[in-house]
């Protein structure tokens, strides 16, 4: 929506009343309106995407918000919307998310960013967002995430939250695996949550996916090598 023109304070009283009736207040505690939300939606959607927001609309949306599309906030937003495909929002999804957040405008959404970001520090929410991210990023019909996407996505979510995330990315880069499936994805999170950085409480019988077994071995070999060279010095 176009930005509001500023009114002079003297004229306010007279103008306020009719504004109230029209429900077009500027202040933050104006109530949420589905209609407004829908209108807002329509500014991004395009016909070629069957009335959903497509990649172009998404780009515009992000620009308006002032965030990059790779920002984790977008992911949380998509999670709240229960969006099915990355890069696309349907009207229902839009409404669902925005209703949850009680936002029907850019400004309101901007203000909610802190809340969205903060919600990630709750481990349950984070886990759900993490899990959601996998299915969200899948290509149509394919059940596993290709290597590059997996690494990017994982980096986005786990960098800064897991001390071994950089090492794990390195491991994935040099390993021969081509795609990550849901079970592996989920288990990486569990791993990051339960296993100590020095891998001391990692048990081989812990039913971890073979991928993680290999990571542990790779990591241990590396640390042995570095510690050996350390001694020589």
Partner 1 sequence: MSGISKGGKKDTKMRIRAFPITMDEKYVNNIWALLKNAIQEIQKKNNSGLSFEELYRNAYTMVLHKHGEKLYTGLREVVTEHLINKVRVEVVDALRNNFLQVLNSAWNDHQTSMVMIRDILMYMDRVYVQQNNVENVYNLGLMIFRDQIIRFPLVHSHLRDTLLTMVAKERKGEVVDRGSVKNACKMLMILGIDSRSVYEEDFEKPFLIQSAEFYRLESEKFLAENSASVYIKKVEARILEEAERATHYLDKSTEEPIVKVLEDELIRKHMKTIVEMENSGVVHMLKNNKSEDLACMYKLFCRVPDGLRTMCDCISAYLREQGKALVTEDDNGTNAITFIQSLLDLKDRFDHFLHESFSNDRLFKQMISSDFEHFINLNPRSPEYLSLFIDDRLRKGVKGMSEQEIENVLDKSMVLFRFLQEKDVFERYYKQHLAKRLLLNKSVSDDSEKNMISKLKTECGCQFTSKLEGMFKDMTVSNTIMEEFKHHLQQSVTNLNGVELYVRVLTTGFWPFQSSLSKCNMPSAPNMAFEAFRRFYLGKHSGRQLSLQPQHGSADLHATFFGIKRANTGPMDLVDEGAASSSGKSLRRHIIQVSTYHMVILMLFNKKESWSYDEIKNETDIPERDLMRALQSLALGKITQRVLSKDPKTKDIEASHMFTVNDQFTSKLFRVKIQSVATKGDTEPERNETRNKVDEDRKHEIEAAIVRIMKARKRLQHNVLVAEVTEQLKARFLPSPVVIKKRIEGLIEREYLSRTAEDRKIYTYVA
Of 63 and 143, CB closest to partner 1: 143
What is the chain's Cα-based Rg? 23
Contact 84, 93 (CB under 8 A): yes
Considering only 90, 105, 184, 192, the residue that binds partner 1 (CB under 8 A) is 184
Query: In angstroms, what is the minimal distance from the CB of 141 to partner 1?
Result: 15
Considering only 29, 48, 205, 228, the residue that binds partner 1 (CB under 8 A) is 205
Considering only 28, 47, 207, 231, the residue that binds partner 1 (CB under 8 A) is 207
Indicate whether 85 belongs to the interface with partner 1 (CB under 8 A).
Answer: no
Indicate whether 142 belongs to the interface with partner 1 (CB under 8 A).
Answer: no
DSSP 180: E
Contact 33, 81 (CB under 8 A): no
Indicate whether 183 belongs to the interface with partner 1 (CB under 8 A).
Answer: yes
> Judged by CB under 8 A, which stretch of 43-51, 82-90, 118-126, 178-186 contacts partner 1?
178-186
In angstroms, what CA-CA distances link 221 with 112, 166, 198, 214, 218? 45, 16, 13, 11, 5
CA distance 67 to 26: 23
CA-CA-CA-CA torsion for 45, 47, 52, 56, nearest 10 degrees? -50
> Judged by CB under 8 A, which stretch of 53-61, 158-166, 179-187, 215-223 contacts partner 1?
179-187
Query: In angstroms, what is the minimal distance from the CB of 195 to partner 1?
Result: 12
Indicate whether 187 belongs to the interface with partner 1 (CB under 8 A).
Answer: yes
- Report 210-229 residues binding partner 1 (CB under 8 A): 210, 213
Considering only 7, 60, 111, 143, the residue that binds partner 1 (CB under 8 A) is 143
Indicate whether 122 belongs to the interface with partner 1 (CB under 8 A).
Answer: no
> Judged by CB under 8 A, which stretch of 1-9, 22-30, 81-89, 206-214 contacts partner 1?
206-214
- The SS3 call for residue 141 is coil
User: Phi and psi at residue 187, in whole multiples of 5°?
Assistant: -70, -25
Size of the site for partner 1 (CB under 8 A): 14
User: Phi and psi at residue 79, in whole multiples of 5°?
Assistant: -60, -45
In angstroms, what CA-CA distances link 117 with 29, 70, 73, 123, 177? 21, 14, 6, 12, 32
**Which residues are registered as beta bridge partners of 146?**
179
Contact 44, 53 (CB under 8 A): yes
> Judged by CB under 8 A, which stretch of 21-29, 40-48, 61-69, 182-190 contacts partner 1?
182-190
Residue numbers at the binding site for partner 1 (CB under 8 A): 143-144, 181-184, 187, 190, 205-207, 209-210, 213
């Amino acid at each position: 929506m176009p930005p509001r023109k500023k009114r002079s304070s003297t004229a306010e009283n007279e103008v306020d009343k009719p504004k109230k009736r029209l429900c077009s207040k500027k202040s933050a505690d104006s109530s949420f309106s589905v209609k407004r939300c829908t209108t807002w939606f329509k500014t991004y959607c395009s016909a070629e995407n069957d009335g959903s927001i497509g990649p172009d609309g998404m780009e515009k949306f992000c620009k308006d918000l002032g965030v990059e599309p790779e920002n984790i906030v977008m992911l949380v937003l998509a999670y709240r919307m229960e969006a099915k495909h990355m890069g696309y929002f349907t009207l229902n999804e839009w409404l669902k998310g925005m209703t949850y957040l009680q936002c029907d405008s850019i400004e309101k959404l901007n203000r909610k960013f802190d809340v969205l970001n903060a919600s990630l520090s709750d481990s349950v929410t984070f886990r759900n967002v993490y899990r959601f991210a996998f299915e969200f990023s899948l290509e149509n019909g394919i059940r596993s995430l290709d290597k590059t996407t997996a690494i990017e996505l994982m980096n986005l979510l786990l960098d800064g939250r897991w001390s071994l995330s950089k090492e794990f990315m390195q491991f994935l880069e040099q390993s021969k695996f081509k795609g990550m499936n849901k079970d592996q994805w989920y288990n990486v999170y569990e791993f990051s949550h339960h296993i100590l950085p020095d891998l001391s409480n990692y048990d081989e019988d812990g039913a971890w996916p073979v991928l993680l077994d290999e990571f542990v071995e790779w990591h241990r070999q590396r640390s042995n090598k570095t510690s050996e060279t350390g001694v020589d010095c």
